[in-house]
Amino acid sequence: MLLRKAIDGLVDLSAILGGLALVFVTGVILTDVVGRALGSPLYGVQDLVEMSALLVVFGGMAFVDRRGGHVTVDLLEHFYSPRLNKIFVVLGCLTGALIFGLIAWQTWEASKLSVMLNRATNILFLPRAPFQYGVVVLSAITSIAMFARGLRAALNNGAASESAHT
C-alpha cells in the first residue's frame, strides 16, 4: 500500500510537471503570436517550445496510463476467456514498462553525449542535457507505474479489463 502511494505520488508529480510545461508552452506561443501581431516576435520561441514539449509529452504518459487512456484494440476481447484477456493486459503493461525503460536508458545515454559535446539548442543555446534528464526521469516513472499496474493486474482475481486506477 505504501509503495502504491509512492508510485501514485510520482505519477501525480510527473503530471504536474507536464502540466506546468504545457502552461509555459501556451504562454510562450501566446506571447509570440501577440508579438508577431505587433511586429516583434519572441526570439527563440522554437527552442523554448521544442524543449518544453518533451516535458509535456513525457510528463503526461504515466498519468494517461493510470487513467487507462492509452489506445487499446479490443475487437477480439469478447472471443477470449477472461484468463487470456488478463494475460494480454499483463503483457501489455509489461511491454509498455519495457519500452519506457528503454526510452529512459537510451535518453540517459544521449544525455551523456550532450554533456560531453556541450549540445545546445540552435537559437538560444539552451543546454539539451537537462531536458534529456527530464525525459529520463519521466520515462522511468512511467515504466515503474506501468510495471506496477501489470503486477496488480496479474495478482488481481477480478476482471481482466480492470480499471487502470483501482
C-alpha cell at 69: 487512456
Q: How high is the mean pLDDT in each 10-residue block of the chain (166 residues)?
A: 93 97 97 97 96 96 90 84 92 96 98 97 97 97 96 77 45
| pLDDT given for residue 72 in this prediction | 79
Domain spans of the chain?
Answer: 2-155
List, in order, residues 6 or more apart from 160 with CB less than 8 Å away.
82, 83, 84, 85, 86, 87, 88, 89, 153
Tell me, what DSSP letter sits at residue 157?
Answer: -
pTM for the model stands at 0.88
| pLDDT given for residue 165 in this prediction | 43
| pLDDT given for residue 68 in this prediction | 84
Among residues 24, 156, 27, which one has the least CA distance to residue 83? Answer: 156
Please give the radius of gyration of the chain, using alpha carbons only, rounded to the nearest integer.
19
152 and 28 Cβ atoms separated by less than 8 Å: no
List, in order, residues 6 or more apart from 30 with CB less than 8 Å away.
none
